[in-house]
Amino acid sequence: MIWGNWGLTFNILSIVIISLYFSLSLISVVVYLVSNKLNRFTAKARLRLLWCVGLLPWLVSFICVGLQIIPEMSSSNETWLSNFVHWHHIYNFEIFSWHGATLFVFGLIFFSVCFTKLVKVIKANTQLDQLDFFVKSSSSDHGLTVVESQQHQAFTSGFFSPKSYITSGLRDQLTQQELLVIAQHESAHAETRDPLRKFCFSLLAAFFPKHVEQQLNDWFSLALEQIADDSVLGSGNDETVISKTMLKVSGLRSKVTGAPLSLLNCQFSAHPLNLRIRYLLDDNKGRSFPFAVFFIFAITVTLLSTLSIDLMHHALEKLFFH
């Protein structure tokens, strides 16, 4: 048995974990149900929605902590919240109980996710360092660093000082106008540090079920590409030229096999072209961020998560006689 402030700390962690996984499960179901409706929003609105979806479980968890421990820490212990939610023995934590098992399992998952992401970051940085070493004397074309390779790739890589690259195999197949389109597209990724944003979002998505995680990451990457496409369009280029450039690069890539030069980068033609071209050509880009709907959804998830913690806590207490 752990008493005092340490007991309080471990109980708070238990509340965070339970509410986190309940909200992750609930949000995953909603994501599955509304997956076909996400394209109704603009790319920027989708990006904001995805950030909110990734951050919401953690925000809900910390709100649940406050709602759960306020009644128990109150001197009278009879606040209006105690009629709905409360956590018994907030200063006592039994390590050899379901509480301790929950902390242990979550600790394994959390550090496993962090370690996996760290390994990917180190590997990506190593690849980028090796790439920069070999292209130090290479030429630059329209702001794109040229990589001597027969692959047909254009991409932006690097977290805090991202750089844009193009292989010589792809550059030699493009007209100056097509090369300018790619350069402006990759420059848009570099200016907003999209590789870093992709990595940070992937950390949040990693705690969702595997299928939902993949779907969220795909949506996020697609939104980044569509925003970059819009940036090229805003630079005075014609939609038809941009679309033809996408199709040409995609066709060239299919002729030459090869692994991506970096695991954490933004590649010019690595996403569904039909969705990007349709979005590019559509005058109506979609709806703006649904503030009211998302606020109601966030409140609902918070209330359900908070009430479910109390019910689950009582059920498990009776089951294990802890």
Name the pairing type of β-strands 163-167 and 144-147.
Answer: parallel
Q: How many CB atoms lie within 10 A of CB 299?
A: 12
Residue-level pLDDT, tens digit, the chain, 322 residues: 677 777 778 778 888 888 888 899 999 999 988 888 888 999 999 999 999 999 999 999 888 888 777 666 655 555 555 555 666 666 777 777 666 777 788 888 888 888 888 888 888 777 777 777 666 556 677 788 888 888 888 889 888 888 898 888 899 999 999 999 999 999 999 999 999 999 999 999 999 999 999 999 999 999 999 999 999 988 878 888 999 999 898 888 776 555 544 446 777 766 678 888 888 888 888 899 999 999 999 999 988 888 777 666 655 555 555 4
Secondary structure of residue 221 in the 3-state scheme: helix
Residue 7 included in any domain? no
- At 96-131, the pLDDT tens digits run 766 677 778 888 888 888 888 888 888 877 777 777
CA atoms of 119 and 261, how far apart (whole Å): 16
CA atoms of 293 and 194, how far apart (whole Å): 27
pLDDT at 280: 87
CA atoms of 216 and 27, how far apart (whole Å): 12
pLDDT at 24: 92
Residue 228 included in any domain? yes
97 burial type by CB count under 10 A (0-12 exposed, 13-18 middle, 19+ buried): middle
Domain containing 277 equals 127-289
Q: Which of 305, 106, 102, 312 is nearest to 207 (CA)?
A: 106
Residue 157 included in any domain? yes
Residue 273 included in any domain? yes
**Using an 8 Å Cβ cutoff, are 288 and 45 in contact?**
yes
Q: How close are the terminal C-alpha atoms of the chain, in Å?
A: 11
pLDDT at 322: 47
Residue 110 included in any domain? no
The count of structural domains within the chain is 1
CA atoms of 250 and 269, how far apart (whole Å): 6
pLDDT at 313: 60
pLDDT at 46: 94
Q: What is the DSSP letter of 79?
A: -
**CA-only gyration radius of the chain, Å:** 24
Here the tokens at position 274 are: 């039909």
Residue 234 included in any domain? yes
Residue 84 included in any domain? no
Residue 32 included in any domain? no
